Structure 1
């Protein structure tokens, strides 16, 4: 039995259809509207069958594990680092692999610019799967969409989601350009960590996005940066903590929270290990 949703840790957002219709007719959002979006981690037994397709374009980004999609009667394997794009009105089905269920970021989009994006990208029912040269950047944009939709149902949030989706579709469309320079897997991971400073991102997650084994990824990361992924993330957090201590009057506990540490005492120990002084002593120092 295939499950459409209900996975531990999932995020699932659906815009009410009256609001979709309003957004499609309103300046600012009419170009591209996100009607549905979400995140399904390790979605065992996940699957969906739509014999008549849907009115929107379906975009599935696989960041871990594997699965399959069937579009217009043809079945295609899907693995980490690939995106599935199904045009509106096309019969399709998809599902997670039984042994290595996928982790998906996904969204449905509609709007006046959609047909042009699909044309430029060369999207067609016979070739719905393509490689992503920068999966981290694509995931960050889908997450931006999800966060905007989670915030509230105001026009401002819908506009923010539309903007992120427009950027995402532009990047996906450009993937077919030959000869474009590619950022290394480590460079992409660094950028992803910079954009997710407050989150604890594991080596396994970064390695899966880079389509490398954790040991191989960790070795490459240390060779190219001189530090481990965990140490690099700690350095990013401490840089942000210094900025907050220098430019705000926020209590140390709040600074700790804003850079991703739940325990302010652990944060203080980490800060002192990096800077040689406590956060309070650092703030009292004369600078500039």
Structure 2
């Protein structure tokens, strides 16, 4: 599932056709399969046009900026905090706003349950009540497709699960009331749900509806440190749990908590605990569960 790099920082992962065909015939994934997914940060001038539609259903979560879509002869504006859903075989075109291009996470879906999920959404533009949660799920889809160490069928089951959560979250948002109005709580929940993902403070602030400086001030007031310090604390908590309750290698644990380089993870862990991950596993401090 190679990434195809086009626009700066864009991520795009496609499932080989033979794997999609196999998944559509398997007991679990035949209900919902992600055929490809990606992340596009503010792609200025980008536009897609499919006058005959597509075999897949498109789901795109707009996290910032704005865009437009023409679906079945009707034109729609998609702003930050909304999702675009285009059913399979529906003629459509879409693109980012020239003045404020959108930042979107997107995926293409197939499967027996997809038409019913799309019908429950009721229209091509869906307001998102919890943008931070929707982005976390969309980012999980992309991150799971990017992993090269998982087996094909097992990976697609996990990806399908994340996509199912995203679709049901959008359905729930369609009929829910106003979102909870605590940006700090929402930011903390996002960080806890995406320990293996990279987080930029401006993007996180936009997800919860405050300025980067205000979000940093909220974290410092509540935790004594900034956003990244809080994320590191969460990652170390998760790492300690994995070290004392699993047989996963240090490299596997590093990857699970968001460190691509196991040596960098070990340095961070030693700074926080005055011992290496291996030493911690052998003799965890008093009060920590043993192996």
Same fold (TM over 0.5): yes
Shorter chain as normaliser: what TM range? 0.7 to 0.9
- The reply to whether residue 24 of structure 1 matches residue 24 of structure 2 is yes
Name 1:59's counterpart in structure 2.
Answer: 59
The 5-angstrom pairing of residues 89-108 of structure 1 reads 89-108=89-108
Q: How far does the alpha carbon of each residue in 1:136-167 deviate from its partner, in whole angstroms, 9 at most, with x for none?
A: 22223223323333336722222222222122
Name 1:236's counterpart in structure 2.
Answer: 234
Deviation of 1:190 after TM superposition, in Å, equals: 0.9
Is the 2:60–2:107 contact (alpha carbons within 8 Å) kept by the matching residues of 1?
yes
Alignment partners' CA distance in 2, 1:56 and 1:252: 39
Shift of the 235–112 alpha-carbon distance from structure 1 to 2, 3 Å rule, reads same
Deviation of 1:206 after TM superposition, in Å, equals: 0.3
Is the 1:82–1:132 contact (alpha carbons within 8 Å) kept by the matching residues of 2?
yes
Shift of the 23–225 alpha-carbon distance from structure 1 to 2, 3 Å rule, reads same
Name 2:47's counterpart in structure 1.
Answer: 47
Name 2:213's counterpart in structure 1.
Answer: 215
- The reply to whether residue 38 of structure 1 matches residue 38 of structure 2 is yes
Shift of the 66–219 alpha-carbon distance from structure 1 to 2, 3 Å rule, reads farther
Shift of the 246–17 alpha-carbon distance from structure 1 to 2, 3 Å rule, reads closer
Deviation of 1:211 after TM superposition, in Å, equals: 3.4
Is the 1:58–1:109 contact (alpha carbons within 8 Å) kept by the matching residues of 2?
yes
Deviation of 1:37 after TM superposition, in Å, equals: 1.2
Which deviates more, 7-16 or 105-114? 7-16
Name 2:120's counterpart in structure 1.
Answer: 120
Extract unaligned runs of 5+ from structure 2.
none
Normalising by structure 1, what TM-score? 0.79
Name 1:171's counterpart in structure 2.
Answer: 169
Name 1:87's counterpart in structure 2.
Answer: 87
Name 1:206's counterpart in structure 2.
Answer: 204
- The reply to whether residue 287 of structure 1 matches residue 286 of structure 2 is yes
Is the 1:81–1:211 contact (alpha carbons within 8 Å) kept by the matching residues of 2?
no
Is the 2:129–2:178 contact (alpha carbons within 8 Å) kept by the matching residues of 1?
no
Extract unaligned runs of 5+ from structure 1.
273-277
Deviation of 1:6 after TM superposition, in Å, equals: 1.1
Alignment partners' CA distance in 1, 2:286 and 2:154: 39
Name 1:146's counterpart in structure 2.
Answer: 142
Is the 2:129–2:176 contact (alpha carbons within 8 Å) kept by the matching residues of 1?
no
Structure 1 SS opposite 2:174: coil
Alignment partners' CA distance in 1, 2:160 and 2:253: 31
Deviation of 1:244 after TM superposition, in Å, equals: 5.3
Normalising by structure 2, what TM-score? 0.78
Alignment partners' CA distance in 1, 2:24 and 2:244: 44
Aligned length: 276
RMSD: 3.4
Which deviates more, 195-204 or 259-268? 259-268
Shift of the 287–139 alpha-carbon distance from structure 1 to 2, 3 Å rule, reads same
Name 1:129's counterpart in structure 2.
Answer: 125
